[in-house]
Structure 1
């Protein structure tokens, strides 16, 4: 997983009621987590990109971008999905419905919200 935590995602300034460190701890229980400075999707914070497992990637699965991963239910759902196999190997939990979005095009600036 890649978790945005730089420019505005994962900051107390933008989301003062979210325990961002706890979110990372929960996600790390499911697998490796890379923290990114910015994923260029500031209008969707907090952003988590769930990478498919190697086998799923070979079968054609692609990374899934999730935005608005702010509450405990969403963070736990991401962790459960990754533990179950993630994109291409397991269906995403219902709690993630509506959080999926298309990856931003690199080089395009996204206004900070």
Structure 2
């Protein structure tokens, strides 16, 4: 029986993943880097996209899901430094296996369903 993968869901809807809101970000390259990251770490990681995660104010947004852990919502994923931190965390096991690094904690956002 194989271990369930960590899933990284990347928002690519109206605001995230478009040059309209963040013209300085190469969104396609960012997605390619995430997929390469998933292939390179020891932890099983799957990267998928979503049309909209309903948190446009935090663009670019991604959610890291792992069995036995609450999803971790990360916003303002706009540069290589955030992806570097994400890569190190996933290499260490990600949610339920490794603590969220302080640098990524600064990017944590509240999921839409939990906002008041």
Instruction: Quickly name the TM-score band, shorter chain normalised.
Output: 0.7 to 0.9
Determine the C-alpha separation between the residues in 1 that align with 2:65 and 2:16: 19
Determine the C-alpha separation between the residues in 1 that align with 2:103 and 2:81: 7
User: Which structure 1 residue ranges, 5 or more long, are not aligned?
Assistant: 109-113
Determine the C-alpha separation between the residues in 1 that align with 2:95 and 2:15: 26
19-28 or 67-76, which moves further after superposition? 19-28
Q: CA deviation at 1:74?
A: 0.4
Determine the C-alpha separation between the residues in 1 that align with 2:30 and 2:87: 10
Determine the C-alpha separation between the residues in 2 that align with 1:33 and 1:26: 10
Structure 1's consecutive aligned runs of 4 or more residues displaced over 4 angstroms after TM superposition are: none
Alignment of 1:9-48 (within 5 A): 9-28=16-35, 29-30=37-38, 31-48=45-62
Q: Work out which of the residue numbers 109, 112, 115 in structure 2 matches 1:104.
A: 112
Q: Does 1:64 align with 2:78?
A: no
* Partner in structure 1 of residue 41 of structure 2: none
The number of aligned residues is 101
* Partner in structure 1 of residue 97 of structure 2: 89
TM-score by length of 1: 0.81
